[in-house]
Chains A and B, each alone.
Chain A
């Protein structure tokens, strides 16, 4: 069963405008963490923002904010004032605990964002 769903394979946004990347998740664990990562063409996964399941407020990090709707199990990423350098692949992810006492991160299929000048 797919645990992280990103329904937008590709998105276009005009430079300086805001864009929302959608993410829904599925878990029965009351304690979980949600992440967004950016992956430029170089391949490195860059951490953007984190939301804990018990956090009362939506997370914000500079131009990034996370629209967390727990009842709907959605964690959409909002990028304000898009820049050309924001063009990349964006992954929504969820942390789960492993049986061995560690943790793993489950990634969605990603959304490719194109910022137009």
Chain B
């Protein structure tokens, strides 16, 4: 079974440009979450989507937006890129919103997209 797939794996953009990152969750998973991990730090929560609706938003500016499609895949969009947006962007999928008892709560991460803004 395929895990969480993210594309592209690496990306270089110029300041002021726009970028779109893509994530395909594990088959059957309906929730996708996005995290930003700046070098040397832990991941920071950006968004969670479940059944195409936004269910959570972290402390990120409006330049960051996301959406989820009927097939549960997701896109993260970042406008007007800044040098500080350079980071590893991680996508995590889960089968539900954390209800139930599975110890993992279904959180599976992809390998990430490494974005460099120059």
Contacts and interface: CB of A to CB of B under 8 A. Distances in A.
Interface of A: 4, 33, 35, 37, 42-47, 49-50, 59, 91, 93, 95, 97-110
B25 interface: no
27 contacts: A4-B42, A33-B98, A43-B111, A45-B43, A45-B109, A91-B43, A97-B98, A98-B55, A99-B56, A100-B54, A100-B55, A100-B56, A101-B50, A102-B33, A102-B50, A102-B55, A102-B56, A102-B98, A103-B48, A103-B98, A104-B58, A105-B35, A106-B45, A107-B42, A107-B44, A109-B41, A110-B41
B107 A104 contact: no
A110 B114 CA distance: 19
Q: Is the interface of B mostly helix, strand, loop or mixed?
A: strand
A19 B39 CA distance: 25
Q: Is the interface of A mostly helix, strand, loop or mixed?
A: strand
A95 B57 CA distance: 14
A35 B107 CA distance: 11
Interface in B29-47: 31, 33, 35, 40-45
Interface of B: 31, 33, 35, 40-45, 48, 50, 53-58, 88, 90, 92, 97-98, 103-105, 107-112, 114
